[in-house]
Amino acid sequence: MDKNEIYKTLDKLSSKKSIKYAVYLSSIVVFIAIILLPPIIGIILKWNLMGQIFEQPQLLDRALNAVYASFGVAFLVSTIDVLTGLPFAWLITRGKYRILGVLDTLADMPFIVPTTALGYSLMLFWSTPQGVSQLFNTESLVSPGWLLVILLHFVFSYPVVVRVLVGALMDYRMEYEEAARTLGAAPFTADRTVTLPIIKSSIIAAFTLAFARSISETGATMMVAGTFENGAIFIKNMKLQNNYGPMVFVSFVLIAISATIFAVIRILGTKFKLPIRRVWPNAERKLSSKGIANFRNTISIIIFFSLVIIPSIFVAFPAVSAVFTDTLMDAFAGRRVWADFWQSIGLSYGVGALATVINVIIGLPMAVLIARKTLGRSTANIFDILTDIPIIIPSTALGASLSIFWKESFAFLPEIWPLIFAHLAITYPYYVKSMAAAIQRISIEYEEAARTLGARPFTVFRTIIFPLTKYSLFAGAIMIFTRSVSETGATVAVVEQLRTAPVLLVKWIPKNGAPELPATSLDVALGCGFLIVLSFVILLILRLVVGGERKG
Amino acid sequence: MPEVEIRNVTKRFGDIIAVDNVSLHVHDREYFALLGPSGCGKTTLLRLIAGLIKPDEGEIYIDGKLVNDVPPEDRGVGFVFQTFALFPHMNVWDNVTYGPRVKGWGEEKAARIAHEALEMVLLHERLDAYPNELSGGMMQRVAVARALCAGAKLLLLDEPLGQLDAKVRNQLRYEIRRMAKDLGLTAIHVTHDQAEAMAISDRIAVMRKGKILQVGTPQELYIKPKHIFVANFIGEANFLEGYVKEIKKNHSIVEIRGGIRIKIADKTFKRGERVVLAVRPETTIIEIGKARENNYINGKIERLRFEGTNVRYEIRLENEDEIVAIRPSMTEEWLDVGEKVVVHLPMNKIYVFPYPSKGLREELSVE
Ligand SMILES: Nc1ncnc2c1ncn2[C@@H]1O[C@H](COP(=O)(O)OP(=O)(O)O)[C@@H](O)[C@H]1O
Ligand SMILES: [Mg+2]
């Protein structure tokens, strides 16, 4: 069958009502069965233990403080992320230099570094004499504690925010801004009153993703938290004591509050209007000057490198010196701890690629359903919130749930399946969110116009939605892939034999003394270095292949 | 007093030369059209004037002032985009008052000007509707009102009627002209539709492949096309290829295919030069009878089409060339298919052009 015939067949199928509903319903079923349920099964099964905590007032106090800490950090971090990510995304998309494409790819870096290694890297950078402290003549510039947690969370959600916002700005039609300019608006005014409101849904999506990720991350947070305890760390501590009641309680509270916040954002988000009626022509004109723009860009780049990129790959710096030692030879020859390394890299990329392909397919109808309210407004709202859940759940609780679901109930499955399913669950929200926001941005008119011109639903998708959201689709795919390649916490929980690269690296990193596997710090550096460089090259190639058409 | 002068302006996008060394002078209060096939650089030229992009070479003057480095918000232009670009998150009223607001004119003045502009475009209702609730015609009116409201004296319109259906289009084109004239604006109207350009413009610049081929009033372009592409693009023309055979005292003789001799008034061509003759269908005369002298060619009617006002005849000449002639349908006798006729090409109605170096087809192509 040639391409046109396939299109025709799909077209015919897509215009049947029954098929349409079948597609949406099956995407809902798939979502509930393999994305939503496995991560929360633990809470459901251990629900009756929840009351335990109320008999221990001190523990309850501690739990509530931890919850406050979680939301405080999440709120602060997501706000800073959006405030700093937006100018950076702007610079990447509007800048005239080709080199900015490299910056764009570099921004994915903290996403590629396995989260635990990221925590380790930040700690080396900020809190040890080998790091930035050298420059300031102290032992530890930022000691483990809440500030370092904030720095860490800022770093690992930064790529998400940038990715979503770059996607939004790429898909944005410059004509709106140009119209504003010809009407007399200074660049700053045009951006503030026209561009930002139009990409609002993506800003909200970025904020939400950063927020959710901050609530749930555990592995790296533990490494840098010192005595600071947030919800996720509390859960981990309870797990270590096999104290399931408080663990279920806090997991539930975190999910419930986050879901409520997201619901409020979702409902108010459309009503909430950015303040655009008042304009201060003179002040805004000054803010539009070249000098201010250059200043803003410079600050963005400085923040990007000094707070995000360098700290997150700091762990790999010693890899350079590994070139002159036996470690490099060991690595290539697969000696010592390196025996499993290359295999684990292969496994990581394989799982990442598979998770990407599967999620792009099963997540698309869900994104359409949310963006276009195909099955009604409330269905859309409900699923919009439900799809966030897998990333709100603290990784320890997630790991515990996934392991109950997959290891206990589906013990007969080869381990590769739980591994893939776990990754699907964790990455699904990133893609659905960014895609739904992108679809929402394109006016339904184009679709309607195409429909009235005789295009059937599939053709509408192929010729209208796809071309207009291509960049966001690509951005979503990158998020799935990078998140999957770096995922650690939940992976450890569901697999025993199989080791993805991050899992292996975690075993190399020293925790309270010696690492699990006899690796040197040079091994860790080189291992992280390989992972980062390889992933970076893959992303760069992908970008060259797919994204050859940056907006002039 | 908005007067636009463009001097040797060039704009490239990579290897594409979108605007190629263009010079142009648009007078104050003129309704000026940029006409050319799609992709010829009209939008680019308009965007250069608006300051949305900068020229690689050359200068642009508005009111005698060099504006190359003036940003769009300070050029005092109103731009109507092909897709209208109405802000989707603002209702009609907020769209229209956007200009006054960002210029800090104050609510009262903004409201007064907006009412005047809305009056001008005959739009009074649905001011709280959002763009996605409007029809094409209404969006167009809002887009124009919005541009007017910002106080622009120079109106730049990029195919402002391109998105509308034929009936609305024909009505609105006169409205826009009337408005520009009433308000004393200078307007530059981009279009690929020659009928539209002819109908509303004081003058037209015909563009092709980034270059301006000819500037003139609609009549000048129609009656005295200086370029073979213009002869074809403005109105219609028959083309006959041949060589200059003889140069006489008051005329020259061109020999076309089949040794047929055609007398032309033009004497600027040398003997032996390859030329193309162009004759409009409406000046191509059909008679009954046989060819007796120069400029009369025997032929046979191959096809006939009734077009309402006119009847259109497609005639196969004795030398196998094809030629089209039209005659008024009510005042002239109809001829039949298959009928033997003689085609008369009056000497003073023949345009002569040098044969294009890249071939005739290429030169006429609208790609
Ligand atoms: N931003 C751009 N980047 C690259 N090429 C462009 C850009 N804008 C226009 N072009 C090219 O310049 C040429 C002229 O385009 P345009 O001015 O839009 O033509 P018109 O409006 O007459 O249809 C075309 O070949 C077009 O592809
Ligand atoms: Mg155009």
pLDDT digits (tens, 9 = 90+) for B144-197: 999 988 888 899 999 988 877 777 788 888 888 988 898 899 999 999 999 999
- Give yes or no for a contact between A430 and A483, defined as CB atoms under 8 angstroms apart: yes
Residue A548 has pLDDT above 60, yes or no: no
Is there a single domain that holds both residue B103 and residue B125? yes
State the Cα–Cα distance between residues B126 and B134, nearest whole angstrom.
Answer: 9
B contact test, residue of A94, A174, A182 with most B CBs within 10 A: A182
Give the SS3 label for residue A329.
Answer: helix
Here the tokens at position A495 are 């697999």
Taking a 5 Å cut-off on Cβ, the residues next to ion ligand 2 are B 43
Q: Cβ < 6 Å from ligand 1: which residues?
A: A 552; B 13, 16, 18, 36, 38-44
Q: B52–A279: do the CB atoms touch at under 8 Å?
A: no
Q: Which domain holds residue A483?
A: 51-546
Q: A176–B87: do the CB atoms touch at under 8 Å?
A: yes
State the Cα–Cα distance between residues B78 and B180, nearest whole angstrom.
Answer: 12
Residue A252 inside a domain? The answer is yes
Give me the numbers of helices (H) and strands (E) for chain A, helices first please: 31, 0
- Considering only the beta carbons, identify the residue of A175, A198, A280 that sits closest to B83: A175
Sheet holding B310-317, edge to edge: B285-287, B340-344, B296-306, B310-317, B322-328
Residue A74 has pLDDT above 90, yes or no: yes
Residue B171 CA to ligand 2 centre (angstroms) = 22
- Give yes or no for a contact between A472 and A435, defined as CB atoms under 8 angstroms apart: yes
- The interaxial angle of helices A395-402 and A416-441, nearest 10 deg, is 130
Strand partners, A127: none
CATH of the domain at B246: 2.40.50.140
Residues of B in contact with A195 (CB under 8 A): none
CATH of the domain at B81: 3.40.50.300
State the Cα–Cα distance between residues A551 and B12, nearest whole angstrom.
Answer: 16
Is there a single domain that holds both residue B211 and residue B253? no
State the Cα–Cα distance between residues A145 and B343, nearest whole angstrom.
Answer: 97
Distance from CA of A448 to the nearest CA of B (A): 11
Residue A391 inside a domain? The answer is yes
| Nearest ligand to the C-alpha atom of residue B42 | 1
Residue B1 to residues A148, A152, B153: CA-CA distances in angstroms? 62, 60, 8
Residues of B in contact with A551 (CB under 8 A): none
Q: A181–B52: do the CB atoms touch at under 8 Å?
A: yes
- Considering only the beta carbons, identify the residue of A173, A185, A443 that sits closest to B132: A443
Phi-psi sector, B85: left (phi>0), alpha (psi -120 to 50), beta: left
Is there a single domain that holds both residue B248 and residue B182? no
Residue A395 to residues A35, A159, A520, B98, B134: CA-CA distances in angstroms? 14, 19, 27, 48, 49
- The interaxial angle of helices A416-441 and A466-486, nearest 10 deg, is 150
DSSP letter (8 states) at residue A336: G
Q: Which residues contact A454 (CB under 8 A, 6 or more apart)?
A: none
- Considering only the beta carbons, identify the residue of A183, A279, A552 that sits closest to B13: A552
User: Domain boundary at B181, B213, B231, which?
Assistant: B231
DSSP letter (8 states) at residue A135: G
Model pLDDT for residues A196-237, shown as the tens digit of each residue: 998 888 898 889 889 988 988 887 888 888 788 888 888 888
The pLDDT, as a whole number, for residue A514 is 66
Residues of B in contact with A277 (CB under 8 A): 94, 101
pTM of the shown model: 0.80
For chains A and B, count residue pairs whose Cβ atoms are closer than 8 Å.
87
Strand partners, B7: B59
Q: Which residue has the higher pLDDT, A125 or A467?
A: A125
- Considering only the beta carbons, identify the residue of B81, B101, B151 that sits closest to A175: B81
- Indicate the average pLDDT of chain A: 82
The pLDDT, as a whole number, for residue A490 is 78
Residue A435 inside a domain? The answer is yes
3-state SS, A18-78, equals: HHHHHHHHHHHHHHHHHHHHHHHHHHHHCHHHHHHHHHCHHHHHHHHHHHHHHHHHHHHHH
Contacts 24+ apart (CB under 8 A), B222-231: B222/B198, B225/B278, B225/B351, B227/B353, B228/B276, B228/B278, B228/B353, B228/B356, B228/B360, B228/B363, B228/B364, B229/B363, B229/B364, B230/B206, B231/B278, B231/B351, B231/B353
3-state SS, B102-166, equals: HCCCCHHHHHHHHHHHHHHCCCCCCCCCCHHHCCHHHHHHHHHHHHHHCCCCEEEEECCCCCCCH
Residue of A nearest to B134 (CA): A445
Q: B147–A184: do the CB atoms touch at under 8 Å?
A: no
Residue A168 has pLDDT above 90, yes or no: no
User: Domain boundary at B231, B247, B264, which?
Assistant: B231
Here the tokens at position A141 are 């510039």
State the Cα–Cα distance between residues A470 and A353, nearest whole angstrom.
Answer: 18
pLDDT-based confidence at residue B249 (cuts at 50, 70, 90):
confident
Give the SS3 label for residue A137.
Answer: coil
- The interaxial angle of helices A17-30 and A341-372, nearest 10 deg, is 130
Is there a single domain that holds both residue B146 and residue B19? yes
- Give yes or no for a contact between A162 and A91, defined as CB atoms under 8 angstroms apart: no
The β-bridge relationship of strands B77-80 and B154-158 is parallel
φ, ψ dihedrals at A362, nearest 5°: -75, -20
Distance from CA of B154 to the nearest CA of A (A): 11
Distance from CA of B132 to the nearest CA of A (A): 7
Domain count, chain A: 1
Strand partners, B299: B317, B341
Nearest-CA residue for atom 12 of ligand 1: B18
Residue closest to B100 by CA, chosen among B90, B114, B80: B114
- Give yes or no for a contact between A525 and A120, defined as CB atoms under 8 angstroms apart: no
3-state SS, chain B, equals: CCCEEEEEEEEEECCEEEEEEEEEEECCCCEEEEECCCCCCHHHHHHHHHCCCCCCEEEEEECCEECCCCCHHHCCEEEECCCCCCCCCCCHHHHHCHHHHHCCCCHHHHHHHHHHHHHHCCCCCCCCCCHHHCCHHHHHHHHHHHHHHCCCCEEEEECCCCCCCHHHHHHHHHHHHHHHHHHCCEEEEEECCHHHHHHHCCEEEEEECCEEEEEECHHHHHHCCCCHHHHHHCCCCEEEEEEEEEECCCCEEEEEHHHEEEEECCCCCCCCCEEEEEECHHHCEEECCCCCCCCEEEEEEEEEEECCCEEEEEEEECCCCEEEEEEECCCCCCCCCCCEEEEECCHHHCEEEECCCCCHHHHHCCC
Residue B42 has pLDDT above 50, yes or no: yes
DSSP letter (8 states) at residue A289: S
Name the burial class of residue A200, with classes exposed (0-12), middle (13-18) and buried (19+) by CB atoms within 10 angstroms of its CB: buried
Q: B102–A185: do the CB atoms touch at under 8 Å?
A: yes
Model pLDDT for residues A301-328, shown as the tens digit of each residue: 999 998 998 888 887 777 777 777 777 7
Is there a single domain that holds both residue B218 and residue B243? no
Residue A259 inside a domain? The answer is yes
Residues of A in contact with B51 (CB under 8 A): 181
Is there a single domain that holds both residue B179 and residue B256? no
Highest averaged pLDDT of the listed ranges A453-462, A524-533, B218-227? B218-227
- Considering only the beta carbons, identify the residue of B13, B51, B85 that sits closest to A179: B85
Domain count, chain B: 2
User: Domain boundary at B207, B231, B255, which?
Assistant: B231
CATH of the domain at A385: 1.10.3720.10
Q: B102–A198: do the CB atoms touch at under 8 Å?
A: no
Q: A183–B98: do the CB atoms touch at under 8 Å?
A: yes
Is there a single domain that holds both residue B137 and residue B266? no
Q: B85–A184: do the CB atoms touch at under 8 Å?
A: no
Is there a single domain that holds both residue B113 and residue B241? no
Is there a single domain that holds both residue B163 and residue B189? yes
Residue A38 inside a domain? The answer is no
- What is the mean predicted confidence (pLDDT) over B281-291? 90
State the Cα–Cα distance between residues B196 and B183, nearest whole angstrom.
Answer: 21
Residue A29 inside a domain? The answer is no
Is there a single domain that holds both residue B112 and residue B154? yes
Nearest-CA residue for atom 16 of ligand 1: B41
Q: Which residue has the higher pLDDT, A49 or A138?
A: A49
Residue B338 has pLDDT above 60, yes or no: yes
- What is the mean predicted confidence (pLDDT) over A517-538? 79
Distance from CA of B188 to the nearest CA of A (A): 15
Pocket test for ligand 1, best of B11, B44, B206 (most atoms within 8 A of CB): B44
- Give yes or no for a contact between A434 and A161, defined as CB atoms under 8 angstroms apart: no
Residue A374 inside a domain? The answer is yes
The reply to whether B105 touches chain A by the CB within 8 Å rule is no
Residue A163 inside a domain? The answer is yes
Residues of A in contact with B152 (CB under 8 A): 182
State the Cα–Cα distance between residues B154 and A349, nearest whole angstrom.
Answer: 58
Helix (H) or strand (E) holding A171: helix A146-171
Residue B355 has pLDDT above 90, yes or no: yes
Is there a single domain that holds both residue B198 and residue B53? yes
Residues of B in contact with A185 (CB under 8 A): 73, 98, 102
Is there a single domain that holds both residue B166 and residue B33? yes
Distance from CA of A538 to the nearest CA of B (A): 28
Residue closest to A122 by CA, chosen among A223, A211, A230, A214: A223
State the Cα–Cα distance between residues A481 and A485, nearest whole angstrom.
Answer: 6
Of the listed ranges A411-425, B26-40, B78-92, the one predicted with least confidence = A411-425
Residue A286 has pLDDT above 90, yes or no: no
Residue closest to B152 by CA, chosen among B194, B187, B195, B112: B187
- What is the mean predicted confidence (pLDDT) over A517-539? 79
The β-bridge relationship of strands B203-208 and B31-35 is parallel
Model pLDDT for residues A347-390, shown as the tens digit of each residue: 888 999 999 999 988 888 899 889 888 788 888 888 988 888 88
Q: For chain A, what percent of residues have pLDDT higher than 70? A: 93
Residues of A in contact with B156 (CB under 8 A): 182
Q: B103–A282: do the CB atoms touch at under 8 Å?
A: no
pLDDT-based confidence at residue A453 (cuts at 50, 70, 90):
low
Name the burial class of residue B123, with classes exposed (0-12), middle (13-18) and buried (19+) by CB atoms within 10 angstroms of its CB: buried
Q: Which domain holds residue B280?
A: 236-364
Of the listed ranges A3-7, A96-100, A452-456, B316-320, the one predicted with least confidence = A452-456
The pLDDT, as a whole number, for residue A552 is 32
DSSP letter (8 states) at residue A362: H
3-state SS, B298-335, equals: EEEEEEEEECCCEEEEEEEECCCCEEEEEEECCCCCCC
3-state SS, A441-470, equals: HCCHHHHHHHHHCCCCHHHHHHHHHHHHHH
Name the burial class of residue B305, with classes exposed (0-12), middle (13-18) and buried (19+) by CB atoms within 10 angstroms of its CB: exposed
Residue B185 to residues A131, B147, B177: CA-CA distances in angstroms? 66, 12, 10
